[in-house]
Amino acid sequence: MLEMATRQVARAGLPLMNIVRMKGVPILQQLEIEERLLRTSSNNWCIINDGTDKPSIVMGISGKPAELVEIRPVVEDKVPVIRRFTGGGTVVVDHGTIFVSFICNKDDVAGVQPYPRPIMSWSSLLYSHVFQGVADFRLRENDYVFGLRKFGGNAQSITKNRWIHHTSFLWDYEARNMSYLKLPKRTPEYRLARDHLDFICPMKDYLSRPDFIAKTIDAAGSLFSVESTEFEAVKPSSNMEFAPTSRLLTIKELEAACKTSI
C-alpha cells in the first residue's frame, strides 16, 4: 500500500508525456504530425508507428538524391523519396520498420543540454533499459547497434526550447529494398568497408514487436508520467495552419538529379 502510494507520488513529480500508438501510418504523415507537434505544441510526446504502409526512401534535410539513391530503379519501381525535416542520413522504411519519436521540452529533460550529443546520449540510456538482458545494445557513434551491427538510425531537430529525437528501428527489412540506397559519402567509422547488408541487422532476432513497444513505453514511464493519446487527436486535418517542411520529391526532381549526376 505504501509502495503504491510512493510510486504515485513519484509519478506525480514527473513531467507528463503523451504516448500515441499508430500502426501502418504513411511515413510522410508521421513526419508531418511530428513536425507540427514539435513546433506548435508545448507538451511532451512519444510517437510510436508500428510499421509504415509502403516502402519509402527518407532522406535527411540536406540529402541529395543523386548521391544517396539509385534513381533509375527508384523511379521505375515508383518508390516514394521523401526529404524530412530532421538531419541525418538516408533510410529505406517499410512495414518492417518500427518508428519511435520523442518530442520534449528541454526543461522537462533534466540535465540534458539541447544539443545533438547530449540528446543522443540520453536516448541511448533510455533504450539501454529496453534491451537490458536481451542483447549487447549500445550507441556507437550515432547509431543503435547490437555488437557492430546497426539496427536503429537516429535523427533530431532542435528548436529554441524543444527537440525531437526520432529513430527508425529495423525490426525486419527486405534486402531488395536496401539495394535502392547508394553508399553515402559520410559513413560511420565503425562501418569500416562493409556492404550495407553486412552492416545492419534486424531486431526480430532479439525481441518481438509487442515486447519492444511495451518495453519502450515502460522505459519512457520511468522518466515521464505517461498517458495514452488517441491518433485521432493528432491526425492532420484540413484546417490546420501549420505548413510542414517534410515533402515528397517529384519524379521531375529525381530525373533532373539523375541527369546532373551523369
- Stretch near other proteins under the rule CB under 8 A, chosen from 20-28, 45-53, 57-65, 176-184: 57-65
Q: Which is nearer to other proteins, 78 or 117 (CB)?
A: 117
DSSP line for 214-243: HHHHHHHHTTSEEEEE-GGGTS--TT----
Instruction: Give how far Cα 120 sits from Cα of 26, 144, 159, Å.
Output: 25, 10, 15
- Stretch near other proteins under the rule CB under 8 A, chosen from 47-55, 115-123, 130-138, 205-213: 115-123
Our finding on whether 113 is near other proteins (CB under 8 A) is yes
**Binding track, positions 133-162, relative to other proteins; x by CB under 8 A:** ---------x-----------xxxxxxx--
CA dist., res. 92 & res. 246, Å (int) = 16
Q: Which is nearer to other proteins, 226 or 257 (CB)?
A: 257
* Single-letter amino acid, residue 4: M
Instruction: Give how far Cα 80 sits from Cα of 39, 59, 222, 244, 248, Å.
Output: 25, 11, 37, 17, 7
Closest separation between CB of residue 208 and other proteins, Å?
Answer: 28
Contact set for other proteins, span 117-136 (CB under 8 A)? 117, 119-120
Q: Which of 1, 42, 186, 239: binder of other proteins (CB under 8 A)?
A: 186
Closest separation between CB of residue 240 and other proteins, Å?
Answer: 19
Instruction: Give how far Cα 260 sits from Cα of 57, 67, 71, 256, Å.
Output: 20, 11, 12, 6
**Which residues, other chains included, contact 55 with Cβ-Cβ below 8 Å and sequence gap of 6+?**
79, 92, 93, 94, 174, 177
Q: Which is nearer to other proteins, 117 or 252 (CB)?
A: 117
Q: Which of 42, 62, 228, 260: binder of other proteins (CB under 8 A)?
A: 62
For the chain, counts of helices (H) and of strands (E): 9, 12
Contact set for other proteins, span 79-108 (CB under 8 A)? 85-89
Closest separation between CB of residue 24 and other proteins, Å?
Answer: 25
**Which residues, other chains included, contact 125 with Cβ-Cβ below 8 Å and sequence gap of 6+?**
none
- Residues binding other proteins (CB under 8 A): 60-62, 85-89, 111, 113, 115-117, 119-120, 142, 154-160, 186
